[in-house]
């Protein structure tokens, strides 16, 4: 797995080389809940360091997890390493809280020694937990005392609950098998900062400690030193398309126009712009005096701006018609003379006295589009028409131009007002958005993505302002007149308010103006070339241009060829004109479409690079054969080849369903995979007793997991397996109906067996078929389990014996305890307990053997058969323990007497002693003189032993007659008859703590056994009532035995206030 350091996606502009280091990135919160299934919950967590034996400490989280199962709650301690930038969370240990779990708490205070080595050990808390062969040492900071106390309190509570559980150990904590464990390697070496000083140097520098960073655009396996500036440039060229600030349109537009040389050419467009304050004058009809203003018809676009075209009082508020505008339009056309036919009016717009008329050469008109106008008053009351502005926006080929004609506030002292007029017109002259249904947004350089935003005058490649802007000269009137007389225009312009504002940016920032070489255009005496002495001369009439900033393409090439005034004496102003040459962009539609397709591919690639994505290996998981409670693991490999972290989880098919079937689990079920990182998921199948029966009877084991990547694509992971059928958790009526071992029964037959049985019968009905697998185990113990110490008490592995049952193979010798544990395991796992819940209340009321056996009369016969068979075998095996113990005691007594010089009276006594001691322990009695008549007890024991051996031989013969190995002979035989002899053998005991005496109700047992079995049992009983072997076990052993039998009889449900009554009922069955 990759061990690359954490790399932030956005590098700070602060250099890591300086002394001031940037703060380390915040630590991500460890989401412990996401690690577990919905049925598990984390009730406590503790950060600590853990070790086992003499391995180094490892930094972990100790999680106390509780799982809700069908029989209650089960708990375990999970030791988990939190996820890092290089790998996901990992489970090091799982310690079940079950019978045998232990925990101990120690606290290490600060050392009082002044020694450096003593002081280096910090105060800490140590929690020791152990279960079977697992012993862990958890070292916790001393500052976590309160939290540790809560954890220990929960451990104590859960441990008490586990000790009182009725479930066999082999039937608990199957859910922990769904979580893969990867224990730490021997070479793990992490510093124990809670108990020792930090004396190590990290092998891999983190970003906060190193000057090495990762470049965004290079493979994450290559480390380079880069500056923040180069990284920023890389981000601009390859932005993250999934950031909220990213615009697809802007990206496509920028990339497309960056390639405009491949899909466009340039065409030179000549433009003539003129501005004229006509002082409310109307041109004479048929006049040609405007010829100089209009030009010779050499330009392609003619733009004329007029001010004070209509100063009538009533016109300030209400339009007075278009007569005056048409007069000026006619005069301009006449001024073109013979070339007037080459032009036509493109647009005319007017706001009271401010008017603009645009003419276009007819051959160019087809290449002009998007002609839009705008008007705004800035005069009286803020909207009066005495001062106003109008604008025209149009597109020539693929180049957008905007023209503004303005008449602004007059007088030298009104500079601030003129600045406000400019701002008002700059923001107030807007244009409607085009019909976007027929547009490709990426082709439109100036189309705002915000649909509520209108187009402005700066949404153009070139912006022209003309008009009576009314900026004056900041000099005394006499000085101005003197400069005018001396024709020192440049010196006069040095105090020009407009130039000063442009330079300072207070108005018209960014605008340009061609050098002025003509006299001031204001103020003249009407009809003369003389300046009016009442006003100081000024350059009030101006033509400016600018290139509004755009991120898509450079400004067009623009050249001002002429800037001059004209001697037209109709007004107190002289008209001013300028001619320009502008390069317009001409589009090749075919090439643009090709380039646009390439740009779209670039975006697709970028989205693919930045889209959270994972390369998934192992989308088809084949588990092969799966057995009961034998976990099988398969791996899914996830690799992040993208540029951004990829967060994944598994998607549930619906809100009320888990992400997978309950007997499987992917770990981790969610995580974040950093760029360049790969992690391995483990999918575990572990079939418990509940699902073993379901899968055996035909339910499908296969599943499909949906691996969901946040912001990315879903991946489907198929899970295929074959569950090998098992007898575990099958109802007794199914077990009794099995004609063959379960693995040899076809699926179709198993599905038929899964059908609900007929209404349960009682013992009064006909005999039931035996549950072959249970009987097979009981017969095994009858043959080899007699006298085995701790046969039913010890918890042993059951899976091997279950495998023998499932396959029908012979159970090898030497597995007595495993077979006993398997019997208890199978019976406790039954879906319906041996004593159905409906009979529990009667069982708990029974206070003697008669009442206990009376309860069995109402229990279904197959349950009664198994119950009586179990109790009989328990008694048989326990009787061997007691007799062997008594024989051993007698043997010791004889040895003591023999060695103390006692005389053996005769040959018969010597024979008795030898029978007890055996060949290796014979006593030489030649010199013994004492009377050994008191050594009569061994004779009784020997007699009892011989009688038990005789009974065993007789029982063995009986079992051979009715053994399950010959199904044809026993078909229809009562199930209890299989163990009839064992039952009768159990009746031999003397009275004791747990004794075997005559059954309380012979008719009841006979009814349960069947007539033939009862007769056999009676004959055996009558022949053995004269010699009884008392079986007395230690109280602790008796209690453990009864507790082990309780879940096999009553099921695994725990009812605390009935524990004593259940134990009593089991004892009554054993005594009977």
What's the average model confidence in pLDDT over 443-455?
Answer: 90
SS3 530: coil
What's the distance, CA 650 to chain centroid? 7
User: What does the angle CA 177 – CA 179 – CA 185 come to, to the nearest 5 degrees?
Assistant: 110
Cβ burial, residue 443 (10 Å; 0-12/13-18/19+) = middle
Residue 172 DSSP code: S
Helix or strand (DSSP H, E) at 583 = strand 576-587
Interval 205-230: pLDDT, tens: 333 333 333 333 333 333 333 344 44
Tens digit of each residue's pLDDT (9 = 90 or more) over 365-412: 999 999 999 999 998 776 676 799 999 999 999 999 999 999 999 999
pLDDT at 356: 97
Neighbours of 543 (CB within 10 A): 22
Residue 699 CA neighbour count, 13 Å, CB half? 13
Determine the pLDDT at residue 753.
85
Report cis status (omega within 30 of 0) of the bond before 765: no
| 288: pLDDT strictly greater than 80 | yes
pLDDT of residue 331: 96
**Based on the number of CB atoms within 10 Å of its own CB, is 276 exposed (0-12), middle (13-18) or buried (19 or more)?**
buried
What average pLDDT does the segment 333-352 reach?
94
* Alpha carbons 621 and 703: distance in angstroms, whole number: 10
Pairing of strands 90-97, 102-108: unpaired
What pLDDT is stored for residue 882 in this prediction? 56
CA–CA separation, 1018 vs 1023, rounded Å?
A: 9
Q: Which domains does the chain have, with CATH numbers?
A: 1-24+206-264 (no CATH), 33-178 (2.30.29.110), 265-586 (3.60.10.10), 615-723 (2.60.40.10), 767-901+941-1071 (1.10.555.10)
314 confidence band (pLDDT: 50, 70, 90)? confident
The count of residues in the chain is: 1072
Sheet holding 576-587, edge to edge: 343-351, 354-361, 301-307, 264-277, 576-587, 558-565
**pLDDT tens across 35-66, in order?**
899 899 999 999 999 999 888 999 999 999 99
Reported as a single tens digit per residue, the pLDDT across 804-837 is 999 999 999 999 999 999 999 999 999 999 999 9
**Are the C-beta atoms of 728 and 628 separated by less than 8 Å?**
yes
pLDDT in tens, 482-510: 999 999 999 999 999 999 999 999 999 99
Question: How distant, in Å, are the alpha carbons of 35, 110, 617, 663, 871 from that of 680?
Answer: 14, 43, 9, 20, 51
Give the ranges where 486-588 is alpha helix by DSSP (H): 489-493, 497-504
Mean pLDDT across the chain, nearest whole number?
80
Of the candidate ranges 294-303, 669-678, 795-804, the one whose mean pLDDT is the lowest: 669-678
Distance in angstroms (rounded) separating the CA atoms of residues 914 and 908: 10
**Contact criterion met (CB below 8 Å) for 346 and 365:** yes
What is the pLDDT confidence band of residue 995, given thresholds at 50, 70 and 90? very low
Kindly indicate the confidence band of residue 426, based on its pLDDT and cuts at 50, 70 and 90: very high
pLDDT at position 210 = 33
Per-residue pLDDT of 591-621, as tens digits, reads 999 999 999 999 988 888 788 889 999 999 9
Q: Percent of the chain beyond pLDDT 90? A: 54
Cα 411 versus chain centre, distance? 71
pLDDT of residue 611: 82
pLDDT in tens, 949-961: 544 454 444 344 3
Question: Distance between CA 35 and CA 41 in Å, rounded?
Answer: 10
pLDDT mean over 294-303: 95
Indicate whether 334 pLDDT > 60. yes
Q: How confident is the model at residue 113 (pLDDT cuts 50, 70, 90)?
A: low
Q: Is the pLDDT of residue 787 over 50?
A: yes
CA distance 260 to 583: 14
Q: What's the pLDDT band for 316 if we cut at 50, 70, 90? A: low
Q: What is the pLDDT of residue 117?
A: 53
pLDDT of residue 955: 44
Q: Is the pLDDT of residue 545 over 80?
A: yes
Provide the sign of the torsion angle of the four alpha carbons 811, 814, 816, 817, taken in this order.
negative
Higher pLDDT, 72 or 424: 424
Which pair of tokens denotes residue 560?
């001002």
Q: Concatenate the DSSP letters of all residues of 235-273 into one string.
A: HHHS--TTSTT--HHHHHHHHHHHTHHHHEEEEEEEEEE
| Between 191 and 996, residue with greater pLDDT | 191
pLDDT at 1056 (0 to 100): 66
The residue among 290, 324, 288 whose CA lies nearest residue 309 is 324
């Amino acid at each position: 797995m990759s061990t690359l350091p954490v790399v932030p996606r956005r590098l700070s502009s602060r250099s890591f080389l300086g002394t001031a280091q940037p703060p380390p990135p915040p630590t991500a919160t460890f989401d412990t809940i996401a690690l577990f299934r919905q049925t598990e919950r984390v009730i406590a967590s503790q950060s600590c360091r853990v070790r086992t034996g003499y391995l180094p400490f490892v930094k972990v989280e100790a999680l106390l997890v509780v799982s809700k199962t069908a029989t209650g709650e089960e708990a375990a301690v999970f030791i988990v390493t939190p996820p890092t930038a290089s790998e996901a969370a990992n489970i090091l240990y799982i310690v079940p809280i079950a019978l045998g779990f232990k925990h101990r708490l120690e606290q290490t205070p600060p050392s009082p020694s002044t020694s450096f080595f003593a002081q280096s050990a910090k105060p800490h808390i140590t929690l020791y937990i152990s279960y079977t062969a697992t012993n862990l040492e958890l070292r916790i900071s001393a500052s976590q005392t309160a939290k540790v106390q809560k954890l220990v309190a929960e451990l104590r509570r859960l441990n008490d609950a586990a000790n009182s559980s009725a479930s066999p150990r082999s039937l608990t904590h199957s859910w922990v098998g769904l979580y893969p464990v990867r224990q730490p390697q021997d070479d793990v070496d992490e510093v124990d900062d809670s108990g020792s000083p930090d004396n190590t140097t990290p092998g891999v520098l983190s970003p906060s400690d190193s000057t090495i960073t990762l470049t965004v655009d290079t493979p994450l396996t290559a480390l380079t030193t880069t500056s923040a500036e180069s990284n920023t440039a890389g981000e601009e060229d390859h932005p993250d398309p999934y950031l909220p600030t990213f615009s697809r349109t802007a990206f496509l537009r920028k990339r497309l126009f960056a390639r405009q040389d491949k899909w466009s050419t340039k065409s030179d467009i000549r433009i003539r712009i003129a501005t004229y304050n006509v002082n409310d004058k109307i041109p004479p009809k048929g006049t040609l005096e405007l010829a100089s203003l209009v030009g010779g018809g050499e330009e392609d676009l003619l733009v004329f701006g007029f001010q004070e075209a209509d100063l009538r009082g009533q016109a300030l508020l209400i339009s007075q018609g278009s007569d005056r505008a048409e007069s000026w339009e006619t005069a301009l056309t006449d001024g073109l003379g013979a070339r007037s036919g080459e032009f036509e009016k493109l647009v005319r717009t007017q706001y009271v006295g401010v008017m603009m008329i645009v003419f276009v050469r007819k051959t160019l008109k087809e290449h002009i589009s998007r002609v839009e106008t705008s008007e705004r008053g800035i005069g009286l009351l803020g909207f009066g028409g005495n001062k106003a502005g109008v604008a025209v926006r149009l597109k020539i080929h693929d180049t957008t131009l905007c023209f503004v004609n303005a008449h602004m506030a007059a007088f030298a002292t009104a500079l601030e007002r003129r600045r406000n007029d400019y701002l008002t017109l700059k923001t107030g002259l807007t244009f409607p958005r085009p019909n976007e249904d027929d547009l490709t947004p990426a082709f439109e350089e100036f189309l705002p993505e915000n649909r509520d935003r209108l187009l402005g005058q700066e949404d153009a490649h070139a912006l022209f302002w003309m008009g009576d802007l009314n900026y004056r000269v900041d000099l005394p009137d006499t000085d101005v007149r003197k400069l005018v007389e001396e024709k020192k225009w440049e010196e006069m312009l040095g105090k020009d308010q407009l130039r000063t504002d442009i330079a300072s940016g207070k108005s018209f920032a960014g605008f340009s103006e061609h050098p002025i070489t003509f006299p001031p255009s204001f103020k003249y005496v009407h009809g003369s070339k003389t300046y009016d002495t009442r006003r100081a001369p000024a350059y009030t009439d101006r033509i400016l241009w600018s290139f509004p900033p755009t991120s898509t393409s450079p400004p067009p090439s623009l050249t001002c060829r002429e800037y001059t005034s004209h001697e037209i004496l109709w007004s107190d102003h002289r008209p001013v004109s300028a001619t320009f040459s502008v390069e317009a962009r001409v589009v090749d539609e075919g090439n643009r479409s090709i380039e646009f397709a390439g740009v779209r591919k670039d975006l697709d690639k970028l989205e693919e690079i930045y889209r959270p994505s994972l390369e998934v290996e192992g989308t088809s998981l084949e588990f092969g054969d799966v057995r009961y409670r034998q976990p099988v693991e398969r791996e899914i490999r996830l690799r992040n080849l993208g540029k951004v972290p990829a967060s994944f989880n598994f998607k549930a098919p619906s809100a009320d369903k888990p992400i997978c079937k309950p007997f499987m689990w992917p770990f981790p079920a969610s995580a974040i995979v950093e760029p360049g990182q790969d992690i391995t998921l483990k999918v575990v199948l572990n079939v418990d007793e509940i699902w073993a029966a379901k899968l055996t009877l035909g339910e499908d084991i296969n599943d499909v997991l949906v691996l969901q990547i946040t912001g990315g694509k879903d991946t489907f992971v198929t899970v295929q397996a074959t569950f090998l059928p098992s007898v575990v958790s099958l109802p007794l009526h199914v077990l009794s109906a099995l004609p063959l071992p379960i693995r040899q029964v076809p699926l179709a037959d198993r599905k038929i067996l899964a059908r609900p049985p007929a209404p349960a019968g009682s013992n009064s009905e006909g005999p039931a078929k035996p549950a072959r697998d249970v009987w097979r185990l009981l017969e095994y113990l009858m043959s080899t389990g007699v006298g085995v110490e701790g046969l039913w008490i010890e918890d042993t592995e059951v899976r091997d014996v279950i495998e023998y049952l499932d396959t029908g193979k012979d159970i090898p010798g030497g597995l007595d305890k495993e077979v006993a544990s398997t019997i208890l395991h199978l019976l406790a796992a039954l879906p319906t307990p041996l004593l159905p819940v409906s009979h529990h209340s009667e069982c708990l009321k029974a206070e003697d053997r008669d009442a206990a056996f009376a309860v069995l009369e109402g229990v279904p016969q197959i349950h009664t058969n198994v119950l009586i068979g179990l109790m009989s075998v328990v008694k048989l095996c326990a009787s061997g323990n007691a007799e062997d113990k008594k024989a051993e005691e007698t043997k010791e007594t004889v040895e003591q007497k023999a060695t103390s010089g006692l005389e053996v009276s005769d040959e018969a006594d010597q024979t008795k002693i030898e029978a007890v001691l055996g060949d290796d322990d014979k006593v030489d009695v030649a010199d013994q003189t004492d009377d050994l008549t008191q050594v009569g007890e061994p004779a009784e024991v020997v007699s009892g032993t011989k009688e038990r051996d005789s009974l065993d031989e007789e029982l063995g013969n009986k079992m051979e007659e009715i053994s399950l190995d010959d199904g044809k002979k026993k078909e229809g035989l009562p199930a209890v008859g299989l163990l009839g002899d064992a039952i009768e053998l159990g009746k031999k005991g003397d009275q004791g703590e747990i004794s075997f005496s005559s059954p309380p109700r012979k008719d009841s047992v006979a009814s349960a056994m069947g007539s033939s079995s009862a007769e056999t049992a009676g004959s055996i009983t009558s022949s053995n009532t004269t010699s009884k072997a008392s079986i007395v076990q230690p109280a602790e052993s008796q209690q453990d035995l009864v507790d082990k039998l309780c879940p096999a009889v009553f099921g695994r449900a725990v009812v605390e206030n009935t524990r004593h009554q259940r134990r009593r009922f089991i004892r009554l069955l054993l005594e009977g």
